[in-house]
Amino acid sequence: MALEFDRSIIGQIFDETAFPPVTKEEILAFTTALGEKNPLYTDEAAAAKGPYGGLVAPPTFVTKLRAQKFTPEHLPKFGKMGFDGGRDLEIHAPVRPGDALKMASTIHDIYEKTGRTGSMYFIVIRNEITNQKGEKVAVIDHRIMQR
């Protein structure tokens, strides 16, 4: 099945989600789940003396943010199952307790490859995350593999 779809969907924002303020508890739970011991992520008093002046979340914290729409409604379905093929994460600013984050999602690219599990279609979803100060916090490219 060849790859055919409306290329004008590339680059268009299909979702914007605003998240409730990040809590200290959320940060600490995430930190614990990964076994992170860095005081920047675990110890408010120590973190206050650190480069960020306070507790911050571990760098991959933003990957837990889930948009209301993970993919656009009218995305052509290239396969039955979607799997996470990989992520690229650019970090611009730390996430702190109280931050109200917003995420804008676009389709960055769609392409086809063959791999050990067969013919695969990759959809690259880009999430751009900003905080309440309008600062760019992170950009995440998700490569979703469908087969």
Among 15, 60, 72, 97, interactor with another protein by CB under 8 A:
60
DSSP letter assigned to residue 72: -
Here's the x/- map for another protein, 91-130, by CB under 8 A: it reads as x-------------------xxxxxxxxx-----------
The CA dihedral of 27, 32, 33, 36, to the nearest 10 degrees, is 100
Site for another protein in 79-98 (CB under 8 A): 81, 83-91
Task: Retrieve residue 59's tokens.
Answer: 């760098």
Task: Retrieve residue 74's tokens.
Answer: 């009218």
Task: Retrieve residue 3's tokens.
Answer: 């790859």
Among 14, 30, 101, 127, interactor with another protein by CB under 8 A:
30
What number of other Cβ atoms are within 10 A of residue 31's Cβ?
20
CA 133 to chain centre: 19
Residue 12 or residue 32: which is nearer to another protein going by CB?
32
Binding site for another protein (CB under 8 A): 26, 29-30, 32-41, 51, 58-60, 63-64, 66, 81, 83-91, 111-119, 143
